[in-house]
Amino acid sequence: MIRYVGGKTRLAKEIAAVIQQHIKPTHRYYYEPFIGGGSMAEYTKAFGLYRIASDNHCDLINLYKLLQNDIDRRLGYTAACSV
C-alpha cells in the first residue's frame, strides 16, 4: 500500500515461498507482526488464510484503521487528490 522504511517489498516473494512451505492444512491464520507498507499482505493473500496484521508504529496502525473503517470515502478522497 505504501513504501515503508525497512520494508520487505524486495524479499516478499521469497519470504512468502518459505512461509508457504510451512503451512499445514490445520493452519487458519497468518500473523504479520510488522505490517509496515503491507507488501507481505499481497503475497500471502493466495494462502487462503485469515490474515492478521500488527506493527509497533502507532501512526501507521492508525492509518490502516482509518482506511479500514471508511475505505469508500477515503479512496474517493485519495483519487481526487492524486497528481
Domain ranges of the chain: 9-81
Residue 5 pLDDT > 80, yes or no?
no
SS3 assignment for 24-78: CCCCCEEEECCCCCCHHHHHHHHHCCEEEECCCCHHHHHHHHHHHHCHHHHHHHH
Higher-scoring residue by pLDDT: 22, 81: 22
Per-residue pLDDT tens over the stretch 9-57: 888 889 999 999 999 999 999 998 988 888 888 888 888 899 888 888 8
Hunting for cell 507498507 — which residue is that?
A: 37
* Residue 75 pLDDT > 80: no
In angstroms, the Cα distances linking 67 to 20, 24, 78, 83 are 28, 32, 11, 20
Write down the pLDDT at residue 83.
46
